[in-house]
């Protein structure tokens, strides 16, 4: 149904001057994203290519508001997520930490909000979720319920990495970096799929320990294949002698570097490989002229992770998810102590490797 509807929608069908465009065919899209102050890697056409290849249960609708000359003035990408387990919903943008509506004026946000609700009605979808960071002040909180349980940690950078290092917690970060630098660790840049596979196996074990399903390998591989050739994704491996003991997958776009995925072998925690990698990522970002390093999204219930990120001198802000209809009770997320979450954690902890991979593939076919 969703795919058929996307072909039927024409300019004006969702509101004056609003059309649904295909970023894979519209040569203006990536240029618009690059020029927009909120544009991020997850807005680029490559992100749609990744989602299209890995998740047939999702259909992307890129709502574009055009000016009198036909240029894109504002936009709101959303995806229809079809799931018998989690229900049908419109989401902007699946699996993205930063995915603001590409809007700078409240009047444009109102027009696009009207359009996305018309789209939901045409698709017979009753739930809409618009994820924000910098654009949160533009959403109508009378129309949408603001869920602010997710936090965003980010570290302002400068040209001198030593000035940034001085902001780190002395014993929890700086001393551990010094320990790592004395431990014979060395940095390797992943270039081959074999390197990506090493990272992924470590990442899968890390997710197991946390009681979380692993990301599908094909998702990680497609992200790497799509963006690494452009220098927008980088894989850093920390090795002790010949063994990979920790790894990071970074997104790099415009003025930001973001730590998206991380992994570590806990048997080597005594030499602080995670601190070694974080410090190298921060130092290199400073020297390359980036302005911000992101630590990703964290649930406010995860106090341990919140504290770990704050030790790096990171600032914290809300990542509001705006939900329609405006019903806080209906949209209340599963608490950390819910039975479903406890069962999932138990299964992830106990599942053998092959079963854990299948579980990750299954879960991500219903998430978004």
- Domain extents in the chain: 2-140, 152-318
Over residues 14-26, mean pLDDT: 89
Superfamily of segment(s) 152-318: Gcn5-related N-acetyltransferase (GNAT) (3.40.630.30)
Query: For the chain, how far is it from start to end, CA to CA, in angstroms?
Result: 19
Judged against a pLDDT cut of 60, whether residue 2 lies above it is answered with no
Dihedral sign for Cα atoms in the order 199, 202, 207, 210: negative
pTM of the predicted model as reported, rounded to 2 decimal places = 0.92
The DSSP code for 102 is B
**Residue 328: per-residue pLDDT:** 53
φ/ψ region of 169 (left if φ > 0, alpha if ψ in -120 to 50, else beta) reads: beta
Judged against a pLDDT cut of 60, whether residue 6 lies above it is answered with no
Q: Give DSSP secondary structure letters for 219-239.
A: HHHHHHHHHGGGTSEEEEEEE
- Whose tokens are 């509001």? That residue is 320
Each residue's pLDDT tens digit, 101-145: 999 999 999 999 999 999 999 999 999 999 999 999 999 999 999
Angle at CA of residue 92, ends 348 and 344, nearest 5°: 10
Each residue's pLDDT tens digit, 199-227: 999 999 999 999 999 999 999 999 999 99
- Angle at which helix 45-54 crosses helix 217-227, to 10 degrees, equals 150
One fold for 2-140 and 152-318: yes
Among residues of the chain, what percentage have pLDDT more than 70?
93
Superfamily of segment(s) 2-140: Gcn5-related N-acetyltransferase (GNAT) (3.40.630.30)
């Amino acid at each position: 149904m969703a795919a058929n509807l996307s072909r039927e929608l024409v300019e004006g069908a969702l509101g004056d001057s609003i059309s649904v465009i295909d970023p894979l065919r519209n040569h203006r899209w990536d240029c618009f994203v690059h020029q927009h102050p909120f544009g991020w890697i997850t807005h680029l056409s490559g992100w749609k290519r990744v989602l299209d290849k890995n998740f047939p249960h999702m259909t992307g609708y890129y709502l574009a508001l055009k000016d009198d000359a036909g240029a894109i003035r504002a936009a709101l990408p959303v995806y229809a997520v079809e799931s018998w387990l989690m229900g049908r919903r419109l989401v902007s943008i699946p699996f993205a930490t930063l995915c603001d509506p590409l809007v700078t004026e409240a009047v444009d946000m109102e027009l696009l909000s009207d359009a996305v609700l018309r789209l939901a009605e045409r698709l017979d979808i009753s739930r809409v979720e618009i994820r924000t960071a910098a654009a949160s002040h533009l959403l109508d909180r009378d129309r949408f319920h603001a869920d602010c349980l997710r936090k965003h940690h980010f570290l302002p950078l400068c040209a001198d990495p030593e000035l940034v290092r001085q902001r780190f917690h002395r014993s929890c970060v700086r001393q551990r970096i010094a320990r790592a630098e004395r431990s014979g660790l060395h940095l390797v840049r992943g270039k081959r799929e074999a390197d990506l596979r090493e990272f992924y196996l470590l990442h899968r074990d890390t997710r197991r320990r946390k009681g979380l399903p692993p990301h599908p390998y094909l998702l990680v591989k497609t992200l790497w294949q799509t963006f690494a050739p452009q220098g927008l994704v980088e894989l850093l491996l920390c090795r002790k002698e010949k063994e990979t003991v920790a790894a990071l997958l970074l997104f790099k776009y415009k003025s930001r570097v973001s730590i998206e995925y991380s992994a570590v072998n806990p048997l080597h925690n005594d030499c602080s490989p995670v601190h070694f990698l974080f410090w190298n990522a921060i130092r290199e970002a400073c020297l390359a002229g980036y302005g911000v390093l992101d630590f990703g999204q964290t649930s406010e219930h995860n106090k341990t992770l919140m504290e770990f990120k704050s030790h790096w001198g990171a600032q914290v802000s809300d990542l509001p998810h705006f939900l329609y209809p405006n019903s806080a009770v209906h949209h209340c997320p599963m608490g950390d102590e819910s039975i479903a979450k406890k069962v999932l954690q138990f299964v992830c902890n106990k599942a053998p490797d092959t079963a854990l991979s299948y579980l990750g593939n299954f879960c991500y076919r219903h998430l978004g």
